[in-house]
Amino acid sequence: MQYRCLEKVKKDVEVVMKNATGIIIIRKDNKSFQFIQNPNPRLGVLAIIGPADRFEKALLVEVGIGPSRPYHQSSGCRCRKWIAGRKKCFELSRTQYLLVAPFVFDFIKKLARQKVNKWRSGGYFWIKSPKRYWSQRQKKLFRAEVWRQWPKGTRFSFSKKDYFFLADIFWAEMNLNTQIIYELSNLARFIDKRLSRYKNDKYYKGIRPFHRLKGAQDVKECTTRLPSYLKKELLNYLPSGKNNYFYRDLQNFFDLSEDCLPEEILARQAKKLSDPRERLQNIQVKVTSGLNNLNKDYIVVEIFPPPEQLKSSLEDIPF
């Protein structure tokens, strides 16, 4: 490693030790760590420092808190003096990640809870959303505009190079986010009911293309803002799953293949590490800016406290 790089590694450690909101320092044996919370932080990140290569202390990970982004230049909290960007030179080992991950997710959950507790809204905001109901008896789709509550939390950001964290985040969004699971299951039932009339429709049996059906257009309207990996997850909630009458048609309609999407691959990696629930507990995660945003080297997620109960009964999702 060149001299300039060696100096940069040391300089980055000094910067985060002095300015970061929180610092996790992994000890040399990779079996324990120390946490330091800065009383007067100027850099809104949670930094992880530990042994890497020939360094006893190197910057391994940054998690952006609020508007701050990992490794990016920052204007500094409560100060106009700029803090230079840090360089992503090293990654957490599997052992290091399993050591610190439960603490990291617990820490960001506590930050989210502290912020939400200060809001008068109680962690929810109101959105105006279309409600759709298919009447099987009348063979008619009813529409209405209604106001409903949607949980709101605090945003954090992770580098796209921190694969272990990305794996757990996408797994958590698909498997632990109670609001998304509830909405996907409702939407899947709506789609099945909306399309059920075409099972015996003489105009559909190989004569009229699926995408030209009025029911298919209603499905498209409901799912237009849903990311591809959640559309694929949605199909699993259809009654009978892959054996559903319209599964293949919907798969082609959404332009989904049998190949795993990047988000799915990452989520599967989370299970290979160990049981994700042990690290994540009941964390509620929603990805707001994901891997498909090629202009950013990080993803943004929203962490919000688990809802006491789900009040929504609508079939659409505000993605």
Average pLDDT, the chain: 86
Say yes or no: 152 and 54 in one domain: no
Residue 133 confidence (pLDDT): 64
> Rounded to whole angstroms, what are the CA distances from 76 to 40, 155, 296?
11, 18, 20
* pLDDT at 316 (0 to 100): 38
Which of 31, 66, 90 is the C-terminal boundary of a domain?
90
Q: Is the pLDDT of residue 267 over 70?
A: yes
Stretch among 7-16, 147-156, 161-170, 200-209 having the lowest mean pLDDT: 200-209
d(CA 264, CA 229): 7
Poorest-pLDDT segment among 52-56, 125-129, 173-177: 125-129
Same domain, residue pair 293 and 148: yes
Residue 167's nearest CA partner among 237, 86, 260, 242 is 260
309 found inside a domain: no
pLDDT at 66: 92
Q: 241 and 141 in one domain?
A: yes
pLDDT at residue 37 above 80?
A: yes
Structural domain contains residue 104 = no
> Could you give the CA distance from residue 192 to residue 196 in angstroms, rounded to a whole number?
6
- Judge whether 252 lies within some domain: yes
Which of 18-27, 171-180, 190-199 shows the lowest mean pLDDT across its residues? 190-199
Q: What is the pLDDT of residue 318?
A: 37
Residue 43 and residue 67 in contact, taking contact as beta carbons nearer than 8 Å: no
Q: Are 83 and 131 members of one domain? A: no
* Span 148-172, average pLDDT: 91
Q: What is the pLDDT of residue 232?
A: 95
Give the pLDDT confidence of 74-122 residue by residue, as tens digits.
876 555 678 889 999 899 999 999 999 999 999 999 999 888 888 776 6
Q: Could you tell me if residue 111 is inside a domain?
A: no
Considering the domain architecture, whether residues 147 and 19 belong to the same structural domain is answered as no
Q: What was the pLDDT predicted at 117?
A: 82
Range of the domain at 15: 3-90
Q: Are residues 144 and 81 in the same domain?
A: no
Q: Are residues 190 and 237 in the same domain?
A: yes
Same domain for 156 and 260? yes
Instruction: Check whether 202 has a pLDDT greater than 70.
Output: no
Of 17-21, 125-129, 130-134, minimum mean pLDDT range: 125-129
Model's pTM, two decimal places? 0.86
- Do 204 and 274 share a domain, yes or no? yes
Higher per-residue confidence, 223 vs 319? 223
Same domain assignment for residues 86 and 136: no
pLDDT at position 114? 87
CB neighbours (10 Å) of residue 15?
Answer: 19
Q: Which two tokens stand for residue 109?
A: 């959950």
DSSP the chain: --HHHHHHHHHHHHHHHHHEEEEEEE-TTSS-EEEEE-SS-SEEEEEEEEEETTEEEEEEEEEEETT--TT--B--TT--S-BPPP-------HHHHHHHHHHHHHHHHHHHHHHHTT-TT-SEEEEEEEEEEEETTTTEEEEEEEEEEEE--EEEEEETT-HHHHHHHHHHHHHT-HHHHHHHHHHHHHHHHHHGGGGG-TTTTTTS-GGGSHHHHHHHHHHTTS-HHHHHHHHHTSTTGGGSTTHHHHHHHTT--SSPPHHHHHHHHHHHHS-HHHHHTT--EEEEE-TT-TT-SEEEEEE-PPPSS-----S----
CA 157 vs CA 65, 103, 186, 205: distances in Å: 7, 17, 29, 48
User: Would strands 43-52 and 55-65 be described as parallel, antiparallel, or unpaired?
Assistant: antiparallel
Judgement on whether residues 148 and 285 belong to the same structural domain of the protein: yes
Is residue 260 pLDDT above 80, yes or no? Answer: yes
Residue with token string 């909101």:
21
Mean pLDDT of 162-184: 94
Q: Is residue 35 part of a domain?
A: yes
- The last residue of one of the domains, among 43, 65, 90, is 90
Residue 34 lies in a domain: yes
Number of domains in the chain: 2
- Residue 311 domain-assigned (yes or no): no
Instruction: Give the model's pLDDT for residue 144.
Output: 66
Within-domain flag for 310: no
Write down the pLDDT at residue 312: 39
Say what the pLDDT of residue 251 is. 94
Q: For residues 288 and 155, is the Cβ–Cβ distance under 8 A?
A: yes
Same domain, 147 and 249: yes
Average pLDDT over residues 204-225: 84
Strands 55-65 and 124-135: unpaired
Q: Give me the pLDDT at residue 314, please.
A: 34
Does residue 156 register a pLDDT over 60? Answer: yes
Domain final position from 90, 108, 133: 90
Give the pLDDT of residue 211. Answer: 87
Query: Strand 285-289 relative to strand 154-159: parallel, antiparallel, unpaired?
Result: unpaired
283 token code pair? 């964390």
Residue 309 has pLDDT above 70, yes or no: no
**Confidence band for 265, pLDDT divided at 50, 70 and 90:** very high
